[in-house]
Amino acid sequence: MTPRIEPSIRRTTVSVIIPVFRDANALARTLASCDLRDADVIVAATEEDRVPLARLRTERPDVRWIDAPRGRARQMNAGAAVANGEWLLFLHADTRLPENWRDAIAAADADSGVGLGCFRFALDSASPFARAIEVGVRVRVALFSLPYGDQALFVRRDRFEHAGGYADLPIMEDVDLVRRLCSRGRLYCAPNPAVTSARKWERDGWVRSTAMHLRLITLYFLGVTPERLAAS
């Protein structure tokens, strides 16, 4: 580790914000597998999750647990509203951070022109379909600077607040935020992977799920509103 980055790691504070809805088991695995020491960890859950998360709340007093209205954008905004960090890292409940995730924050923090960062996308599956999807995501990010929320987006808090946070959208809230932030600063792409569960692809089918995602993002860029997309 270079001397230039090491001081940044010590002084930069990070809030890790995890929205959860009916996903207590995945959240428990993520909290157990990620090194979150010295981070301000906030789980934004809904009222429906209070009973399923009761045991985990007791077992993890190091986490700040808050209730928020249902909706990923609303829950992440609620977490950001109480966060203490200079950087806000938005982590899906079924995504695991790499061991050296703090290095990525430090590298992004060292460049004042960077307002937003993401990790490399990876799936926890040995399927060749998973590798193909990972390559497709890398191409999308390289060509269009368009990471999704399952890449564990991290944002300078002042840039996030200046942008007005996440728009209250039923889907595509991550795409909307990335587009707004990238118009005001550079995107930092960390080489280390955030590993997301492949359960949804495995449950719904690799080809079917990928086709659905491509259809949604295509229609979104053609001007179809997130509300219509969510209802379709």
E strands, 73-134, are 87-90, 95-96, 114-123
> What percent of the chain shows pLDDT beyond 70?
95
pLDDT in tens, 160-170: 999 999 999 99
Confidence of residue 109 (pLDDT cuts 50, 70, 90): very high
Three-state DSSP class for 72? helix
Domain 5-198 listed as CATH 3.40.309.10: no
Can you tell me the mean pLDDT for 7-32? 85
Indicate the angle between helix axes 206-221 and 128-144, nearest 10 degrees. Answer: 20
CA angle (199 as vertex; 195, 203 as ends), nearest 5: 155
**Hey, where are the domains in the chain?**
5-198
CA distance 16 to 27: 13
Confidence of residue 11 (pLDDT cuts 50, 70, 90): low
Query: pTM above 0.85?
Result: yes
Average pLDDT score over the chain: 93
